[in-house]
Amino acid sequence: MLESTASRLICRLTVLTLLTISFVAVGCAQPEQKDLTIDAATRTQVIDSLLKRLNDSYVFPEVAKKMDEAIREHVAKKDYDQITSAKQFATTLTTDLQAVSHDKHLRVRYSFESIPERGPRREPTAEEREQRKRALTWLNHGFGKVERLPGNIGYLEFFNFADEELGADTVAAAMNFINGTDALIIDMRKNGGGNPAMVALVCSYLFGPEPVHLNDLYWREGIAPTSFGRRRNCLASAT
């Protein structure tokens, strides 16, 4: 029971918003998670697992060490001893980690259902690819609203950076619609990030012909850094 309960509290280690993407429509109500009562043994197991993952995987080892020290200091001061709610424990750990890291993408999240272990990466099946394509089409590839406002001002609202190949036609349609406007508002207040290749595609409509370095993605070990620049735009020309 202890192991099952602890497995429902997970640490999500995402370095950049660009690495995460939600296929849930913005504004849709999410089911309320049932809470669980946790004990001292569960809290200890969760903290030990959390700190190990941070020290093994967090992109900045020195920051991981500082978070480790901060959490252990909270434990020594018995700051968590009175927490029996799994939801509250996840929220409290998130607050304490972010107070040190200032990383809003580092969170401890709670799930009432046990979370299966992530297996080795594999190529999606044809059925899975088709299912993903349908989901992205239903979400209009993250684009919520495209308008031409009074004063010849373009307005573009999109909620995430989805698959750049599947969404290329949608990007072209949106950018063609606002082509020729004198100013452009890009509303990303509800954007949850996503695919860096889609970021490059969108940016290709906003920059000139010269190469532009957009971002780099780094892993702790085993994988060389990945660089992204604006992608050459062959679909439309927007100002």
Alpha-carbon span 220 to 172, nearest angstrom: 36
Task: Look up residue 232 and give its DSSP letter.
Answer: P
CB distance 195 to 163 below 8 Å:
yes
pLDDT tens-digit readout, 34-56: 899 999 999 999 999 999 999 99
pTM above 0.85, yes or no: no
pLDDT tens-digit readout, 148-187: 999 999 999 989 899 999 999 999 999 999 999 999 999 9
Alpha-carbon span 69 to 51, nearest angstrom: 9
Tens of each residue's pLDDT in the chain, 239 residues: 444 445 555 444 333 222 332 333 333 445 677 899 999 999 999 999 999 999 998 989 999 999 999 999 999 999 999 999 999 999 999 999 999 999 988 999 888 877 767 677 778 888 988 998 999 899 899 999 999 999 999 999 989 899 999 999 999 999 999 999 999 999 999 988 888 899 999 999 988 888 888 887 777 776 555 665 544 443 333 33
Question: What domains can you pick out in the chain, each with its CATH number?
Answer: 2-110 (no CATH), 126-229 (3.90.226.10)
CB distance 8 to 111 below 8 Å:
yes
* Tokens 């109500």 found at: 29
Query: Which pLDDT score, from 0 to 100, does residue 153 have?
Result: 97
CB distance 49 to 6 below 8 Å:
yes
First and final C-alpha spacing in the chain: 59
Rama region for 194: left / alpha / beta (φ>0; ψ in -120 to 50; rest): left
Query: Which pLDDT score, from 0 to 100, does residue 21 have?
Result: 29
Question: Side chain identity at 51, as an amino acid letter?
Answer: L
- Return the SS3 of 136: helix
- Reference 53, options 90, 61, 225; nearest CA is 61
Task: Look up residue 33 and give its DSSP letter.
Answer: P
CB distance 164 to 197 below 8 Å:
yes
Query: Which pLDDT score, from 0 to 100, does residue 23 have?
Result: 32
Q: What Cα–Cα distance (Å) separates residue 42 from each residue in 35, 67, 96, 117, 121?
A: 14, 20, 18, 18, 30
Kindly report the length of the chain: 239
- Return the SS3 of 128: helix
Task: Look up residue 26 and give its DSSP letter.
Answer: T
CB distance 167 to 198 below 8 Å:
yes
Q: At what angle do helices 40-57 and 86-101 cross, to 10 degrees?
A: 30
